Amino acid sequence: MTNPLLSTWDTPFEIAPFDQIKDSDFAPALEEALAAHQAQIDAIATSQEAPTFANVIEALETPCRELEQVLSVFYSVAGADSNPEREALQRAFSPKLAAHFSAITANKALYARVKAVWDQRDTLDLSEEQARVLMLTHRGFVRGGAALEGADDTRMQEIKSRLATLGTEFTQNLLADERSWYMELSEEDLTGLPQFVVDAARAAGKDKGLDGPAVTLSRSLITPFLQFSPRRDLRKTAFEAWAARGANGGDSDNREIAAEILKLREERAQLLGYKNFAAYKLETEMAKTPAAVRDLLMQVWEPAKAQAEADAWVLTKMMQDDGINGELEPWDWRYYAEKRRKAEHDLDEAELKPYFQLDRMIEASFDCATRLFGLEFTPLDVPLYHEDCRAWEVTRNGDHVAVFIGDYFARSSKRSGAWCSAMRSQAKFPDVQTPIVINVCNFAKGDPALLSYDDARTLFHEFGHALHQMLSNVTYESISGTSVARDFVELPSQLYEHWLDVPEVLGKFATHAETGQPMPVEMRDRVLAASTFDMGFQTVEYVASALVDLAFHDGPAPKDPMAKQAEVLAEIGMPSAIIMRHATPHFAHVFSGDGYSSGYYSYMWSEVMDADAFAAFEEAGGAFDPERATALEANILSTGGSRDPAELYTAFRGRLPGVDALLKGRGLAAS
């Protein structure tokens, strides 16, 4: 019987036939796919024809169908619907794949052909996009170690393999800690909690096989529990478990893994001639240097810290008024901030949440895309990897554009957070290929499912990434969609969040789950007025994480990352009642892979642009100005990595932005 992962998918839009795929299919399919890809690479490397753009660069751009199919399916289910068998496969696949791709960049015959094309680039009459692909391909080989020889070359391959293994272990340890911890609650412990939190706790208890409610480390449950539970002792227990993920000792402890990862990254960078890993990593980003990153973060840190300290004074007074003496602790902040929000803005999360139904917010995100870019969304009835997933066909003027898949609900088999990935990326070479894009979130289930305002913002954020994939219009897959500099990739996602705050969008889609009535105008105005509420806290916890990430990589690798983390936080004067958003043992952005290593700052770098970019709409005809929407698609959403990001942004806006729009948008600008 043919392995379904390797067959030609005769399905609607060639979506993976998830109903036919078994876990036992993955390992043999990967072996066969790797062999097919290796044969493809060998043919390019050993060709006797003179090296040309077509027979080297375009040949490398030609996808190996079998390998793309296996990896797209496996990593989709491994992150969103894991099980012990898939986790074991992931541990086995990581070093195998690292070795395979490392061998490609280490292939001296292949690199010689790439370099030969690069050396004659000025005589090839390439298009702008082809020239960009050639530059990126050559740069990728050099940065991957292709020019290394002898022992250095061997050591580079060893480092890459070990890093892949460690990244997988880090991720699985974190998932194990998140999955294993829970705190049983009595009926009395539910006192003071809004009904939606009670319902979520009961559902969590049922999921854990308990007779009663429980709190788990799912963000969609623990965050509202910390906001609303009047039981300080329970908040403390839950918060400390949340903060201790990856640092509980035993087999799932990530601290030694983090130290080894940092040491190996430093060695990797130095083998390539860089002073440290930050210098290596940032060379290809918009920021270019660690100094530029630190300058941006510190411009934001000081006003954010000042605001957070002023807020801490207010929250401490509120706590003392409750008869609790002593210092405001991290497990107190969200509780008293929520009470303050209710008092100052008359906003009650329990009263607000029924207006943010998941289905209505999905409709809102689609409607904005229709008004801005002419996209239409039609539900698809196709087998997917989990019963919670849904799919839509995306069209424009009747033409197929993409398939969009949404996987919105939290479950113990899914890693925490939210993300966007492409099971298939857009390309025109060698054949036209339309994208299949997935948004994965961790919202609490319900009937109907209700979101917090932050949840709704997350939904819009991830859909902004999806639009970047779906509207891509380039020739080569390697520069398609979100294949851009890390500190540019968050621009489309963070920019799209702004449309959630457009009054007419809330007016149309923020309707009450029971009555169907739109959110009252005065409530909507209060929601928007409170949009920068607690922004000192949010900015401090984020910037502290970004500064620690930068410090880990901009200098000698620390032998004890936890000591280095403490040193950095002491240097910047971290407020005692706030902790890093992602402490080292659960900093998956940085340690699960190289994606955001030395790059966690990129959300802030992109925010400088997104605040300025939305201002361009406001300065024109408003949020749905057609000329600005056309310019956004033409210069940013459709272009992928085909041009330098600074050039793309300048083409859209006419200039590069400063930090002022960001500070104003976060309510941190000096009055």
Long-range pairs for 84-87: beta carbons < 8 A, 24 or more residues apart: 85/23, 86/23, 86/26, 87/172, 87/175
Task: Look at residues 473, 495, 527, 501 and name the one whose alpha carbon lies nearest to residue 616.
Answer: 495
Distance CA 76, CA 90 (A): 12
Helices (H) and strands (E) in the chain, counts: 27, 7
CB 218 within 8 A of CB 410: yes
Query: How far apart, in whole angstroms, are the C-alpha atoms of residue 510 and residue 524?
Result: 9
| DSSP at 513 | T
Q: How many other CB atoms are found less than 10 A from the CB of residue 396?
A: 16
Query: In a 3-state reduction of DSSP, which class is residue 365?
Result: helix
Burial class (CB in 10 A: 0-12, 13-18, 19+), 464: buried
> The sheet that has 419-424: what strands, in order across it?
375-380, 390-396, 399-409, 436-443, 419-424
3 state DSSP class of 304: helix
The angle, 0 to 180 degrees and rounded to 10, between the axes of the packed helices 602-619 and 486-497 is: 50
Q: What CA–CA distance (Å, rounded) separates 13 from 480?
A: 19
The whole-angstrom separation of Cα 451 and Cα 552 is 35
Element (H, E) at 86: helix 84-105
Q: Would you call 590 helix, strand, or coil by DSSP?
A: helix
Q: How many residues does the chain have?
A: 671
Please give the backbone phi and psi of residue 95, each rounded to the nearest 5 degrees, phi first: -70, -30
H-helix or E-strand containing 404?
strand 399-409
Sequence-distant (6+) residues with CB within 8 A of 665 are 532, 607, 611
**Residue keyed to tokens 């390439």:** 126
How far is C-alpha 361 from the chain's CA centre? 20
DSSP, res 124: S
438, 424 Cβ separation under 8 angstroms? no
Distances (CA, A) of 327 to 292, 576, 587: 36, 9, 27
Cβ(444)–Cβ(454) under 8 Å?
Answer: no
- Euclidean distance between CA atoms 534 and 540, whole angstroms: 10
Find, among 394, 402, 481, 405, the residue nearest to 439 by Cα: 405
For tokens 């050993």, the residue is 46
Alpha helices in 229-327 (DSSP H): 232-243, 255-271, 277-282, 290-321
111/146 Cα distance (integer angstroms): 6
Tell me which residues are annotated as active site.
462
- State how far the alpha carbon of 237 is from the alpha carbons of 183, 242, 364, 393, 575, in Å: 8, 9, 37, 45, 21
